[in-house]
Amino acid sequence: MSYERIAFVAADSLAARTALARLKKRYRSVPPEEADVIVALGGDGMMLETLHRYIKRNVPIYGMHRGTIGFLMNEYREGGLPRRLARAEPVVLHPLRMTAITQKGQKREALCVNEVSLLRETRQAAKLRVSVDGAARMPELICDGVLVATAAGSTAYNLSAHGPIIPVGSDLLALTPISAFRPRRWRGALLPSSAHVIIDVLEASKRPVSAVADYTEVRHVRRVEVREERDVTMTLLFDPEHNLEDRILTEQFTP
C-alpha cells in the first residue's frame, strides 16, 4: 500500500528531534490530522504516546527507533522511506478498556494500549479477588498489585513483573501478579483476549488500591473491570525484515 500524505512526530530527545528535522527536509510532510500514515521517531514510549494521541483517527503508525527501548520500532534509516512504508506489514491491535469504581461510587473509564495495573497505596499489601468471565478464579490474592497486559504491553511492566511475553497480534492477555505474597507461588495466567476480568478490592478502606491504565490513574478503587475494546482499532506497521516474531523469541531467551 502506498501512502502519499506522511506526518512525522518525534520524542523530545536530541536524537529524535534531529531525525525529525532531517526527514522533514527530505520528504514532503503534512500535519498528523491530515496524514495517511504517521511516522513516530523515538522509543516504545513515543509509540505508546502516538497511539494514544491519534487513537480516534485509526491511522497506521510506523515507528523508527530514535530512543531507548525500541521493541515496537523499526530500524532508523532516512533513505527509501516511501518504499519501506509501501512494503510494511500491518499488525492490528485493540486497546483495553478499564472501568474503575471508587470507594465513593464514582465511575471512571480509560483506554490503554499497554496494561491496566492495580497497585497498593500504603505500606499494607493489597487484598484482591480476581474473577474471569463471572467465575472467581482467585478468591483472595495478597500482593503489591496485579496487572492485565496486552500483547503490545507484555514487554513493558508485565515483563518486569515476570509476566510472559505475548506475540503481538495474538488473541491473548497476560494476568500477572506483582510481588504475590499469598498464594506465594502463583505466577499469573494467560487469558483469551475476549476475557472479562473483574478485580475486587477486599478491605478497601484498610488496604487502599489505585488503578492505572497507561496514563490514567484512579485512586481508592473498590472494583476494576477490564476487557478488550474491539470497536477501537490501532494499526502498527513493520518492515518485513523487522521479524517481530523472532525478536519476541529472542527476548524470551535473553538472560
Write out pLDDT tens, residues 44-97. 999 999 999 999 888 999 999 998 878 889 999 999 999 999 999 998 999 999
According to DSSP, the β-strands at 37-42 and 6-10 are parallel
- Name residue, grid cell 528531534: 17
217-231 average pLDDT score: 97
pTM given for the model: 0.87
Contacts of 150 (CB under 8 A, 6+ apart): 93, 94, 95, 96, 112, 113, 114, 115, 166, 173, 228
Other residues' Cβ atoms within 10 Å of the Cβ of residue 64: 25
Q: What domains, with CATH codes, occur in the chain?
A: 6-93+233-252 (3.40.50.10330), 96-228 (2.60.200.30)
Q: How confident is the model at residue 148 (pLDDT cuts 50, 70, 90)?
A: very high
CB proximity list for 29: less than 8 A, separation 6 or greater: 6, 7, 8, 23
The torsion of the CA quartet 234, 227, 216, 111, rounded to 10 degrees, works out to 30
**What is the average pLDDT value for the chain, to the nearest integer?**
93
Q: How many CB atoms lie within 10 A of CB 130?
A: 23
Query: In angstroms, rounded to a whole number, what is the distance separating the alpha carbons of residues 196 and 29?
Result: 41
What are the pLDDT digits (tens) for 152-208? 899 889 999 999 999 877 899 999 999 999 998 899 999 999 999 999 999 999 999
Measured distance CA(191)–CA(164) in Å, rounded: 11
Which positions are annotated as active-site residues? Answer: 44
